[in-house]
Amino acid sequence: MSFALSLATPFAAPFFVKAEAPAHAAAREALLDAAMGPGRTRKSSEAIRRGRLPAEGLAFVALDSNERVAGTVRLWSIFAGRRDGRPVPALLLGPLAVDPALSGAGLGTSLMHRALAEAAWQGHEAVLLVGDPGYYERFGFTADKAADLSMPGPFERHRFQGLELKKGALAGANGLVVPCGRRLGPVAVTGVALTRAA
């Protein structure tokens, strides 16, 4: 069944947040297009994600009881500027999206709690994002934690926010957010171009 067809079919509760698998990729991309529109690939955050894989173990989907993708969130390895001449490791969260038909059902909150708990459990110390302050403040994100940092390309300063999973993790960090971590790379397998972590 195609994802477009599943959008016309009501989702079946309950919903589960699980680690994203390669089989979820097409449905995830269709969901992001539906929830965020065609301009989503032109955002500053996308410039950081382009050509990279999410941080290990930090990509999640919300699935209904029929295993259909109803929501998605991913976190990406970055350097949040520099402090004392050294890069500051952090994560960039996004995009977070839920099928528009399920807006207000709590799936975004569930995805956020799972992603942040897993990031903390893995030992990550800080998370940045660009998003609606009214939504993300409930998870502890504030613009002041990202005040001395900037994104590549245009971004709205009041929407650029940070969360310290370890107290003081972003203190003194300043400068440009840049990508780091796993890259996508081509692998030829029986004439089919696939991707792998480099």
pLDDT tens readout for residues 67-89: 999 999 999 999 999 999 999 99
> From residue 140, how far is each of 125, 126, 130, 163 by CA, in Å?
13, 11, 14, 6
Rounded CA separation 124/122 (Å) = 6
pLDDT confidence of residue 79: 98
CATH of residue 13: 3.40.630.30
pLDDT confidence of residue 188: 36
156 three-state secondary structure: coil
pLDDT confidence of residue 175: 97
pLDDT confidence of residue 4: 36
Give the burial string for 136-155 (b: 16+ CB within 10 Å, else e).
beebebeeebbebbbbeeeb
> From residue 82, how far is each of 73, 143, 150, 194 by CA, in Å?
26, 18, 11, 34
pLDDT confidence of residue 36: 84
Rounded CA separation 149/172 (Å) = 10
pLDDT confidence of residue 180: 94
Domain that includes residue 103, residue range = 3-197
Q: Output phi, psi for 183, to 5 deg.
A: -105, 155
pLDDT confidence of residue 18: 96
Stretch (H or E) spanning 26 = helix 25-36
Ranges of residues in the chain whose predicted pLDDT is under 50: 1-8, 187-198
Structural domains of the chain, count: 1
Partners of residue 60 on adjacent β-strands: 19, 73
